[in-house]
Structure 1
Amino acid sequence: PPVAQARTSPSAAGLALFFGVEFLCSRGRLVWLPRELSLLESEEWRPFADRDADGVKRMVTELGGLLFAAHPYDRSQGPSFSDAVFQLDFIHAIEVANHGLFQVRNLMAYEAASRMKVATVGGSDSSDPAVIGRAATVFLSDVRTQAEVVDAVLRGDVWAVELLDRLEKAPERATALRTGPARRDAGSRGRGRRRGGRQRNA
């Protein structure tokens, strides 16, 4: 990622920028955020970018950081993990709010995160200024550094939010919005997925 270029861009004024790499694997997309940006700049991660989820797993084991599955039920941009996401026992979170997807795809991702007991994140996933911010990741405390972002998600101190164009009243949906996935044992606490109004680079 062009870290230095992004930071010096006039568009970056007043923004907190965090960086990661999206790996297009044979079955879906995985996003990695390292704790230290020096890992991106040294490109130590490149030998693992082989379209193989197992290779990405080895990278995270060696280099650390945060790994999440991006919109695992979206088939509009190529292969998706779909239910194979349950086999990814090495991920830390799942993107469950993506404004560009049909809501049923987001809800399927949320159900997977709930069952796997991993954190939920969200993102607009768009270059359209009108859409940016309609899906996001909320942090329970201020995060100012890349390491703080990674650590907050690893603790489960985040949840996904989304601004909907209309309200949906299905009872099962209301239940899902009030109940959050329990998290892994590493000091995490359950948080609900809220809607009403988290990008790889934000």
Structure 2
Amino acid sequence: MVFATRNRVLLIDLHVHSHHSISGVLEPEEIILRAKQVGLDGVCFTENQPFSEWKELKELGKVHDVAVFVGLEVSTDCGHYLLFFPDPKQVEPGAWFDSEEGEETTLLFDKVRAAVERLGGVMIASRPYDLRIPHPLGDRIFSLKGIHGIEVRNGRCNTLVNDFALEACFHLRFAAVGGSHTLDTLTKLGTVATLFGETIADEAALINALKEGNVWPVEISETPVLRNNRDMGDRGDRRGRDDRRGRDDRRGRDDRRG
């Protein structure tokens, strides 16, 4: 099946979990159907534990005409990472690290990096400034080697956390990507994704695009964009000022929580 032509870009969510993940509850098929409904060209199932059912996911994608890719999200002593390999078999249990099903596992960053390099894959730093996760990466991202990109838009992170990731990505000149981080609800699917500027037929092509930086993070909203204050009536100026104050207050509260 061909999911892109030379002149067509693809919108792919790089960070989705199904019930094959710890704490995941969603059926893969309902994720794929929802992805098609909201206009995504593809989704990446980045389960947070090894899984053997990746072939079934790809078949479901073919049935519903949605590109399906598979990877892993791993927790390390230096943050979380989305991993993609040219051979999707590497997501299976025991392929390159041992983990029991349902086991919360924190891996050594150096071990993960060595495995990814050996297997020709990519490492994408996921929500590096999210303080809610164990061992968040933070500013260590500026000194670590082997990272190919940064998730600068995560659907489950607040604006400040995402903006810190974006700033780091800008300075490091890494590939910038976005993912909904769908886990237990479909509400975020279709709001954050990654735009690919080339044909993506399989994981090998996905990896190549990420390494080449031919990707862009995308946030999608149904809220209409108002061109000027006249569109808003006489209250336009007052609403603008009030909204700025409200956003600042909310960001402060979110930051303390997160």
TM-score computed with the length of structure 1 as normaliser = 0.74
Q: Percent identity?
A: 27
Change (3 A) 1:12 1:91: farther
Q: How many residues align?
A: 168
Q: Is the Cα contact below 8 Å between 1:99 and 1:162 reproduced in 2?
A: no
Ranges in structure 2 where 5+ consecutive residues have no aligned partner? 1-50, 100-104, 226-239, 241-258
Q: How does 1:134-145 map to 2 (within 5 A)?
A: 134-145=191-202
User: Which of 106, 113, 118 is equivalent to 2:162?
Assistant: 106
Q: 1:29 aligns with which of 71, 77, 80?
A: 80
CA distance in 2 between counterparts of 1:129 and 1:21 reads: 19
CA deviation after TM superposition for structure 1 residue 130, in Å: 2.5
Q: Where do residues 29-178 of structure 1 align in structure 2 (5 Å cutoff)?
A: 29-41=80-92, 43-47=94-98, 51-127=107-183, 128-163=185-220
**Secondary structure at 2:195 match in 1:** strand
> How many angstroms does 1:165 deviate by?
8.0
Deviations for 1:48-74, whole angstroms, at most 9, x for unmatched residues?
976110111111121111111001001
- Contact 1:74/1:105, CA 8 A, preserved across alignment: yes
Using the TM superposition, give the Cα deviation of residue 139 of structure 1 relative to its aligned residue in structure 2, in angstroms. 0.3
Note if contact 1:123-1:133 (Cα within 8 Å) is conserved in structure 2.
no
The residue type equivalent to 2:195 in the other structure is V
User: Which structure 1 segments of 5+ residues have no match?
Assistant: 170-202
Separation in 1, partners of 2:181, 2:172: 23
* 1:4 Cα deviation from its structure 2 partner: 2.1
Aligned residues: CA RMSD: 2.5
Normalising by structure 2, report the TM-score: 0.59
CA contact (8 A) 2:61 2:67 kept: no
Residue deviations 1:103-159 (CA, integer Å, cap 9, x gap):
111110011111111100110001422310211010012312111111011100001
Q: Secondary structure at the match of 2:134?
A: coil
Larger Rg: 2
Counterparts of 1:134 and 1:114, CA distance in 2: 22
| Larger strand fraction of residues | 2
Report the counterpart of residue 16 of structure 2 in structure 1: none
CA distance in 2, matches of 1:165, 1:101: 19
**Residue 9 (structure 1) shift:** 4.5
